[in-house]
A and B are shown apart, each in its own frame.
Chain A
């Protein structure tokens, strides 16, 4: 008798929960996913006339010997807000997430924002190291900072942490661990910039490194809640996807090729035609990739700009394309054999193109140029 009552109660509960969850699914409308093309119109009205190119190193405390993997965003007043990790060396427990602001042509002295102990305390779990910050400014003005943290092993054991700021980065929420992988929530890494969606949400490109290495997109709602993840491809060794929207429905994704076979280091790209819900099979571009992060942006004038390493990390190049698959190298930002210039982060802001990248693993370098300078460079690009 008692068993029958328990069984009946269980069945009633099952029906209620199933119906309630089904109805909550019905309320979610995720079918109408569209990219938001941010840089498209602003530049046309604000383009300057004189070619301009400048560069500077972001100042950081002299006791920091290593810096890597920068990410930045533009603030409403035109300032830039940058984040990167720095410490004794990559993966060291003393590595922290550092930040600096670009105001009136000058970067402020870097200050520490986050360290492993802060994530450990907030999430009640052991954390040994942090890395790869990615900053995104939502249409609502909220800043979203994503940072990877590791408890055991190398970077393939990473988990993703999410912090939010509502006061332009002055204060941050407690880091919240996002559950993305069903296998101990391990091996989700982030590196490249997020892209905006028309509903106020955004896609954060991530990649997994446990087993095969492949790229995914994490979809966030307008209020910053993680909704779902979308696999771009299961093709092995395609990591750190750089997403470049080209219309409201379509975008290209470019991948760092981490193949160990030196002869198979083609730069691959996949395309979406339905707002990122599904992606084509990756196809080869005319470039190669030496297992190094790259970033691609839409210049919104029919051309696309890529910042990338071609043969090794000693050369950091600019390339232009009009179709997304064939790229023409136009300029060498850096070329010093033996040094490393890598992990570019690029944004098109009010007619300027800003690039931040790792400067020989010691500092972060900022390069800013305008479209006139770029046009000049393209005109003389035949020398390469």
Chain B
């Protein structure tokens, strides 16, 4: 495996872990200095401190989860930027239709991978010009309509071209099961809260 692939994946994991823990600790509300210090310590610690059988937290997670897609990494970056509210008008990174579309795409891909669908959807990601042209058209459409997902997938396509991951399958750059699970959880909780709201309205 090329060293820069390792560096990219280690960085994504380290950043995600450090950001998540700093965010959960609610330290940023109290002290910017200590939250920054904590962030740096977490970055270093999650890579260097052996937790189990000589493996660090990042190594343990990468062992269990594998590598994340370029799309997920870029999406995470957009979500973080969105939190800092750099944009003039803050809007959701993914709209409901995109979330539903991505969720369905993931469901089809993984059902096919698990062998529940005869057609091998994942195979298209290796050498199919059809898949390349399809996703290029989707990206074009999304960019023309100013959707962030278009830029996210453009980065994924660039990543595929430059082989920024150890996979040679386009799917692994566009999508990963972490994204699917997050979207699935998000979808289920949205449906549940909608039902709850309806119940409250009915009672009132």
Asked if A pairs with B, the answer is yes
Task: Specify which chain B residues have a CB less than 8 angstroms from the CB of A20 in the assembled complex.
Answer: 161
Whether A14 and B59, one on each chain, are in contact in the complex, defined by CB atoms closer than 8 angstroms, is no
**CB-based contact B109/A126 at 8 Å:** no
Q: Which 6 A-B pairs have the closest CB atoms?
A: A211-B114, A212-B115, A126-B63, A151-B63, A179-B167, A125-B62
Residue contact A228 to B64, C-beta cutoff 8 Å: no
- Chain B residues within an 8 Å CB radius of A223: none
Taking CB atoms, residues of chain A closer than 8 Å to B172 are 179, 182
Q: 8 Å CB contacts to A: which residues of B102-153?
A: 109-110, 113-118, 120, 122-123, 125-127, 129, 132-133, 136, 139-140, 143-144, 146, 150-151
Q: Is B59 touching A124 in the complex (CB atoms < 8 A)? A: yes
Which of B31-39, B50-58, B72-80, B195-203 contacts the other chain?
A: B50-58
How long is the Cα–Cα vector from A10 to B148 in the complex, in angstroms? 11
When the two chains form the complex, which single residue of A117, A126, A208 contacts B115, counting CB atoms closer than 8 Å? A208
A7 on interface, CB distance cutoff 8 Å: yes
Query: How far does the alpha carbon of A22 sit from the alpha carbon of B170 in the complex, in Å?
Result: 13
CA distance A30 to B128 in the complex (A): 11
Closest residue of chain B to A8 (Cβ to Cβ) is B143
A362 CB within 8 Å of chain B: no
Does residue A28 face the partner (Cβ distance < 8 Å to B)?
yes
Stretch with Cβ within 8 A of B (4 or more), from A60-68, A230-238, A345-353: A230-238
User: In the complex, which residues of chain B have a beta carbon less than 8 angstroms from the beta carbon of A21?
Assistant: 132, 157, 160-161
For residue A236, which residues in chain B have a CB less than 8 angstroms away from its CB? 115
Contacting residues, chain B, for A151 (C-beta < 8 A)? 63-64
- Least Cβ–Cβ distance between A189 and chain B, in angstroms: 14
> Is B82's CB within 8 Å of the partner chain A?
no
- The residue in chain A whose Cβ has the minimal distance to the Cβ of B128 is A25
In the assembled complex, B166 has its CB within 8 A of some CB on chain A: yes
| B: number of interface residues (CB 8 Å) | 57
Partner of B109, one of A22, A177, A182, A185: A182
| 9 CB-based A-B contacts, threshold 8 Å | A10-B143, A14-B140, A14-B157, A126-B62, A179-B167, A182-B169, A182-B176, A183-B177, A214-B115
Residues in A1-17 with C-beta less than 8 Å from chain B? 3, 7, 10-11, 13-14, 17
Residue positions of B touching A, CB distance < 8 A: 1, 6, 9-10, 52-55, 58-60, 62-67, 109-110, 113-118, 120, 122-123, 125-127, 129, 132-133, 136, 139-140, 143-144, 146, 150-151, 154, 157-158, 160-161, 165-169, 171-172, 175-177
By a CB distance below 8 angstroms, the chain B residues around A234 are 115, 117-118, 120
Which residues from chain B contact A124 at a C-beta distance below 8 Å?
A: 6, 9-10, 58-59, 62
Which residue from chain A places its CB closest to the CB of B165 in the assembled complex?
A179
Residues of B within 8 A of A383 (CB): none
- Chain A 201-243: CB-based contact to B (< 8 A → 1; otherwise 0): 0000000101111100000000000111111001010000000
Q: Are B123 and A30 in contact (CB under 8 A)?
A: no
| Cβ A120 vs Cβ B63 within 8 A | yes
> Given the complex of chains A and B, what is the CA–CA distance between A363 and B54 in angstroms?
31
Closest to B171 in A: A182
* Apart from A21-B160, A182-B169, A208-B115, 15 more pairs, CB < 8 Å: A7-B144, A10-B151, A14-B143, A28-B127, A124-B59, A125-B62, A126-B59, A128-B53, A181-B122, A182-B113, A184-B177, A185-B67, A210-B114, A211-B116, A227-B168
Is A246 at the interface (CB under 8 A from chain B)? Answer: no
**Contact of A7 with B161 at beta-carbon distance under 8 Å, contacts A30-B127, A126-B60 already known:** no
Q: Please state if A182 and B110 are interface contacts (CB–CB under 8 Å).
A: yes
Chain B residue nearest in CB terms to A228 = B126
Distance A184 CA – B66 CA, assembled complex (angstroms)? 5
A336 within 8 A of partner (CB): no
Q: List residues of chain A with CB within 8 A of the CB of B9.
A: 124
Q: Please indicate the chain B residues that have their CB under 8 angstroms from the CB of A311 in the complex.
A: none
Answer whether residue A123 sits at the interface, using C-beta atoms and an 8 A cutoff.
Answer: yes
A168 interface contact, C-beta 8 A: no
Q: With A182-B175, A234-B115 given, is the CB distance from A126 to B52 under 8 Å?
A: yes
CB pair A182–B116 under 8 Å, yes or no, is no
Residue of B nearest to A126 (CB): B63
Query: How far, in Å, is B72 (CB) from chain A's closest CB?
Result: 12
Give chain B residues whose Cβ lies under 8 Å from the Cβ of A185: 66-67
Q: Is B161 a contact partner of A182 (Cβ separation < 8 A)?
A: no
